[in-house]
Amino acid sequence: MTSLFPSPHPPLPDFSTLLIAGPYHASAPIHLALSSNLNTPRSRTILFAPSRSTLKQDLQRFNDSWLTARSGNGATSELASNVIVL
């Protein structure tokens, strides 16, 4: 299921489009994109960020242990290759 958090996680209801705004942790958009791609093979996720550099800095500061442990994993890398950040 699609989520803003790593497994085990509270899933979001089914959706075809989604806009999320609010004070979520820095890696929430990444978890959303990865879990969305996992649930729908051959799909792409477009992530709109007000500032790519700020998103990158926030991710580095947050230092998500789940992403750190799995970012070099082939399956995670494949999912990430289908995420477009604008």
What are 60's two structure tokens? Answer: 């580095």
In the three-class reduction of DSSP (H, G, I as helix; E, B as strand; rest coil), residue 83 is classed as strand
Residues in the chain: 86
pLDDT computed for residue 43 by the predictor: 85
Pairwise pLDDT comparison (80 vs 3), residue with the higher score: 80
Percent of the chain predicted with pLDDT > 90: 40
Q: Could you list the residue range(s) of the whole structural domain that residue 22 is in?
A: 1-86
pLDDT computed for residue 12 by the predictor: 86
Distance CA 5, CA 31 (A): 6
For residue range 53-67, what is the model confidence (pLDDT) as tens digits? 999 999 999 999 999
What's the average model confidence in pLDDT over 28-33? 91
| HEC sequence for 40-72 | CCCCCEEECCCCHHHHHHHHHHHCCHHHHHHCC
- Name the domain count of the chain: 1
User: Taking CA 30 as the corner, what is the angle to CA 84 and CA 60, rounded to the nearest 5 degrees?
Assistant: 105
pLDDT computed for residue 64 by the predictor: 94
pLDDT computed for residue 30 by the predictor: 93
The continuous run of DSSP H or E covering 80 comes out as helix 74-80
